[in-house]
Amino acid sequence: MQLVFASNNKNKIKEIQILLPSTIQLLSLEDIGCFEEIPETENTIEGNAMQKANYVTEKYGFNCFADDTGLEVESLNGEPGVFSARYAGEQKDANDNMDKLLANLKDKPNRNAQFKTVICLNLDGEQHLFKGIIKGQIIEKKVGTNGFGYDPIFVAEGYDKTFAELTLEEKSRISHRGLAVKQLVDFLR
């Protein structure tokens, strides 16, 4: 089976490919000739995932899935949430985003946070949603060089390493995206 993953984020594509069975051939946006920036203008993570999947299905005619992910910090009323990628501005710079988040948490004792991923699958004219959530804490400084986004400042519950200290395989098994992809794979089987 061929499925388009509505992303050109090479890190996300690698993370998801590891979790898919060999019977599913993953195509990127680049593979189908989609080079434009897909809009993400909804005010929820679910809405953005649906918007991206619908864009590919309607414009290119492929079965596809799209994800949207947000980091939700309890003491910041769920920020950065849907704005996680551009928290510090449209340049979408991970270091700027982490610096802004750490500054906003400077004097806050509650550092509880969760990553939430929603995957929207458009398959044969039907739409399905899958959600993965991992709870944890935001630490006070960046640690680790693996991963991307907020990984260097997020430690999942039950772990003592940041996502950026875990291997891609370790992170994929426990992460929000990994949990949502597992539901997707179970559904496709």
**93 catalytic, yes or no?**
no
Q: Which of 68, 96, 124, 186 is catalytic?
A: 68
Q: How many C-beta atoms lie closer than 10 Å to residue 126's C-beta?
A: 8
Contact status, residue 39 vs residue 16, Cβ threshold 8 Å? no
2-188 domain in CATH 3.90.950.10? yes
Average pLDDT per 10 consecutive residues for the chain, totaling 189 residues: 89 83 91 92 96 96 95 98 93 94 96 97 97 97 94 97 93 90 92
Give me the torsion for CA of 78, 84, 87, 90, rounded to 10°: -150
The residue extents of the domains of the chain are: 2-188
Contact status, residue 178 vs residue 19, Cβ threshold 8 Å: yes
Tokens 């390493």 sit on residue: 161
Q: What is the pTM of this model?
A: 0.90
